[in-house]
Amino acid sequence: MVVLSKPAIEQFPKTKNCATLLGGIPLIDLSKSDTKTQLVRACEDFGFFKVINHGVPVELIRELESEAIGPNGDVGWLEYLLLTTNTHSDYRNFASIFGEAAENFRCVVNKYISAVKKMACEILEMLADGLRIQPINAFSKLLMDEQSDSVFRVNHYPPCPDSQESKGRNLIGFGEHTDPQIISVLRSNNTSGLQISLKDGRWIPVPPDQNSFFINVGDSLQVMTNGRFKSVRHRVVANSSKSRLSMIYFGGPPLSERIAPLASLVQGEEDSLYKEFTWFEYKKSAYKTRLADNRLGLFEKIAAS
């Protein structure tokens, strides 16, 4: 893990209209009435922030965490994918073998996704308001669309004792990358590991907080805001003694949606930094890239001379 010296911490961008800085990370209290300016500022400076008083029931978060770990609590040094090979399998048999567990998990995941999606949409509407974008649901309607291509991911990082021995070296759990979608809502248990990259390229650790959410600006929001918001580069380093469990909702647009800078954020066509693309085109090209690649590079317009 990167340990920051005090002078480095003092060099973090000073946020005007001030979102509280918590170890360098903007902290937004969603219960406060006027947070839109702080939200805009956090998306411009970091592409990342922490939210508290978010309205998602703590019991729902805990329930999902315990369901994700599995009914019998077996957590080994293994993550696996188990696929059925018989396309004609009778799903009623599955239910009788796996008991209620799979059914419950699906049900809790659905409730959790509805709650975090609602929060993500509220944040996106405050951001649109802060940027004076009309209509105010210009971003959130993409997540609300029935065809929205949003995904949900649960990551489990087993403890990695080797990372203790490799002093001064970060053992990577999830390599550096930006998220391709519009917005990501991340919640983890209290195990550290997540780091974000500042604009100057320095990596800073994000202190974990199981009761809060961390929000990432994704590549699509960077494009729609014509680069005003930055999709944050982030990674996860291995923890030597504790396992990390994270759950992320990635709010994405429908596959057919055209992604381009919003007209109100560009003076004229020539000021647009990106070529228009559909989310399908972006996703297709993203899956041909390496995790750390700059996926937006392909869609950037060459700077006019």
Applying CB under 5 A, the residues found at the interface with Fe ion are 179
Q: Return the number of the residue (35 or 163) whose C-beta is nearest ligand AKG.
A: 163
286 in contact with ligand L4NPZUNZ (CB under 6 A): yes
174 in contact with ligand AKG (CB under 6 A): yes
| Contact call for residues 250 and 181 (beta carbons, < 8 A) | yes
- Is the C-alpha dihedral spanning 253, 255, 257, 262 positive or negative? positive
Q: Return the number of the residue (133 or 185) whose C-beta is nearest ligand AKG.
A: 185
CA distance 225 to 105: 36
- Provide, rounded to whole angstroms, the least separation between the CB of residue 186 and ligand L4NPZUNZ: 10
Q: Which residues are catalytic?
A: 244
Q: Return the number of the residue (130 or 173) whose C-beta is nearest Fe ion.
A: 173
258 in contact with ligand AKG (CB under 6 A): no
DSSP assignment string, 154-223: EEEE---THHHHSTT-PPEEEEEE---SSEEEEEE-S---EEEE-TTS-EEE----TTSEEEEE-HHHHH
List the single partner that 287 binds among Fe ion, ligand L4NPZUNZ, ligand AKG, none, CB under 5 to 8 Å by kind. ligand L4NPZUNZ
287 in contact with ligand L4NPZUNZ (CB under 6 A): yes
274 in contact with ligand L4NPZUNZ (CB under 6 A): no
| Contact call for residues 185 and 116 (beta carbons, < 8 A) | yes
142 Cβ contact partners less than 8 Å away, ≥ 6 residues apart: 148, 182, 251, 252, 253, 254, 257
298 in contact with ligand L4NPZUNZ (CB under 6 A): no
Give the position of tokens 């021995």.
165
180 in contact with ligand L4NPZUNZ (CB under 6 A): yes
User: Rule CB under 6 A: which of 230-259 touch ligand L4NPZUNZ?
Assistant: 250
293, 156, 138, 165: which is closest to 231 by C-alpha?
A: 293
User: Of 46-54, 70-78, 186-194, 290-298, which part binds ligand AKG (CB under 6 A)?
Assistant: 186-194
β-pairing, 48-52 with 25-29? Answer: parallel
246 in contact with ligand AKG (CB under 6 A): yes
182, 187, 173, 192: which is closest to 137 by C-alpha?
A: 182
CA distance 247 to 156: 9
Q: Which one of residues 62, 153, 284, 301 is an interface residue with ligand L4NPZUNZ (CB under 6 A)?
A: 153
DSSP one-letter code for 244: E
291 in contact with ligand L4NPZUNZ (CB under 6 A): yes
User: Of 16-24, 176-184, 253-261, 296-304, which part binds ligand L4NPZUNZ (CB under 6 A)?
Assistant: 176-184
Structure tokens at 224: 């729609």
Exposed/middle/buried for residue 169 (C-beta within 10 Å: 0-12, 13-18, 19+): exposed
- Provide, rounded to whole angstroms, the least separation between the CB of residue 79 and ligand L4NPZUNZ: 13
Q: Which one of residues 71, 144, 289, 298 is an interface residue with ligand L4NPZUNZ (CB under 6 A)?
A: 289
Residues that bind ligand L4NPZUNZ (CB under 6 A): 151, 153, 177, 179-180, 250, 286-287, 289, 291
Enumerate binding residues for ligand AKG (CB under 6 A): 153, 155, 174, 179, 186, 188, 194, 234, 236, 246, 248
